[in-house]
Amino acid sequence: MPFLGKVLVVDDDQNVLELVKLYGEREGFEVIGVSDGNAVLAAFDRENPDVVILDIMLPGKDGLDLCRNLRSIRMIPIIMLTAKGEEADRVLGLEMGADDYVSKPFSPRELVARIKAVLRRTLPMDTEVNWQLKYPGLEIRADIRRVLVDAVQTVVTPREFDLLYHLAQNPRRVFTREELLAAVWGYDYFGDQRTVDVHIRRLRSKLAPLSHEYLTTVWGVGYQFTPPIKGGETRCE
């Protein structure tokens, strides 16, 4: 079986750690479990995982603080575990930079599918593609997965990058939330449409220094990327 990557699972429930380890290793992942929030940063530095599964309620540092800490270290995909029905926790986790969330109790097969999906979205692109999208004040470099606002790099999560890049590749096309979930999160995504709203809101905040608002809401439909009608919009390879 091919090796698919390393997963760091953070949860104080030993049953959850064992369940994720069992199903993850069946699929080709190496799974490292941590049960104390205070031990996460050391494990993250030592193990250099490809994706982190992070419970919100933890002894020591809680999951939301850890999500913010991990984001400041490296733009690694993060999936939050939240109590079933705790919408506020899910939204807050996404606001902190999480790429996805899974509600407890969860299906281990679903969680493994989420891990595979988030890794597919963050794998390095073909080095021969080297896409660059340039709009007034905004440059999106898909080859190195960077966003420049007024020539200054702004930090975006892997999922934020994928969403912005997808919209910017199709200027002025209106996408429904369902279409964006399918294109950016994948058809095997199990979340709800509000996930798109949270990521759009975060992106707007990060693009706020620009005088032009690129991400436009089309009420009752979804979102579109709207560059200035006049000006040097270019697309190059």
Domains identified in the chain, total number: 2
Residues 101 and 198 in one domain: no
* Strand arrangement, sheet containing 222-225: 175-176, 222-225, 215-218
Report the alpha-carbon distance of residue 7 to residue 78 in Å, rounded. 10
In a domain, residue 127? The reply is no
pLDDT-based confidence at 52, cuts 50/70/90?
very high
Residues 110 and 152 in one domain: no
In a domain, residue 73? The reply is yes
pLDDT digits (tens, 9 = 90+) for 106-116: 888 888 988 88
Residues 47 and 107 in one domain: yes
Among 89, 122, 155, residue at a domain's last position? 122
How does the average pLDDT of the chain come out, rounded?
A: 83
pLDDT-based confidence at 100, cuts 50/70/90?
confident
pLDDT digits (tens, 9 = 90+) for 118-137: 887 665 544 444 468 889 99
How many Cα atoms occupy the beta-carbon half-sphere of 219 within 13 Å?
0
Report the alpha-carbon distance of residue 54 to residue 22 in Å, rounded. 17
Residues 66 and 36 in one domain: yes
Residues 136 and 220 in one domain: yes
- pTM exceeding 0.85: no
- What values do phi and psi take at 85, rounded to 5? 90, -5
Domain with 19, as residue range(s), is: 5-122
Residues 190 and 115 in one domain: no
- The pLDDT assigned to 143 comes to 74
> CATH code at 164?
1.10.10.10
Report the alpha-carbon distance of residue 180 to residue 221 in Å, rounded. 12
Among 122, 147, 169, residue at a domain's last position? 122
Residues 110 and 136 in one domain: no
Residues 117 and 9 in one domain: yes
Q: Contact, 51 vs 76, CB < 8 A?
A: yes
Residues 115 and 56 in one domain: yes
Q: Contact, 211 vs 135, CB < 8 A?
A: no
> CATH code at 27?
3.40.50.2300
DSSP annotation of 184: I
Among 104, 122, 140, residue at a domain's last position? 122
pLDDT digits (tens, 9 = 90+) for 57-78: 888 888 888 988 888 787 788 9
Residues 98 and 167 in one domain: no
